[in-house]
Amino acid sequence: MQFLIQVGNVAVDHLHFANSFHLQQSYFVSDYDPTIEDSYTKICNIDGISTRLDILDTAGQEEFGAMREQYMRTGEGFLLVYAVNDRGSFNEIHKFHTQILRVKDRDEFPMVLVGNKTDLDLYRQVSRGIH
C-alpha cells in the first residue's frame, strides 16, 4: 500500500480529478464538499506488482493548512495538482512543494505534478511546456 497526499488550491476542482481517477472503475463521485478532506483508493499495477494506492485529498482550503501539515507528516508521496485553466493554481504549486519539504525535513521527496482540467484546452492558462 502507498499512502499519497493530494494537494492543490480550491480552483483545481478536486471532484473533477476524483472522477477522472475512478473512470476505469465505473465509479462517479457525485457529492463533493470542497471544505473537507476526502480519500480514494485504487489498485494499480506498478512494475508488475499489484499495489493499492490510498489518496487523501486535502481539500485545498487555506484555512485547513494546519490540518494539511498533519497529513503531510504521514504521506509516502504527493500529487501536486493544478488546473491548466487557472495560472494561480499552478503558481501555488511551489508553495506546496516547499511546505512538503519543510514538514518532511528533507531536500527531496516523491512528488508528481498533475495538470487537471486538460479538457478545457480552449481556456488553458498554463502552457504544455517545451516540445
pLDDT digits (tens, 9 = 90+) for 71-126: 889 889 999 999 899 999 899 999 999 999 999 999 999 999 988 888 888 998 99
Q: Is 120 helix (H, G, I), strand (E, B) or coil?
A: coil
Is the whole-model pTM more than 0.85?
A: no
* Portion of the chain with pLDDT greater than 90, in percent: 28
Contact 34, 14 (CB under 8 A): yes
pLDDT at 70: 84
pLDDT at 21: 57
Contact 23, 84 (CB under 8 A): no
pLDDT at 20: 57
pLDDT at 102: 96
Contact 60, 86 (CB under 8 A): no
Residue 29 exposed, middle or buried by CB count within 10 Å (0-12, 13-18, 19+) = middle
Residue 57 exposed, middle or buried by CB count within 10 Å (0-12, 13-18, 19+) = buried
Contact 8, 89 (CB under 8 A): yes
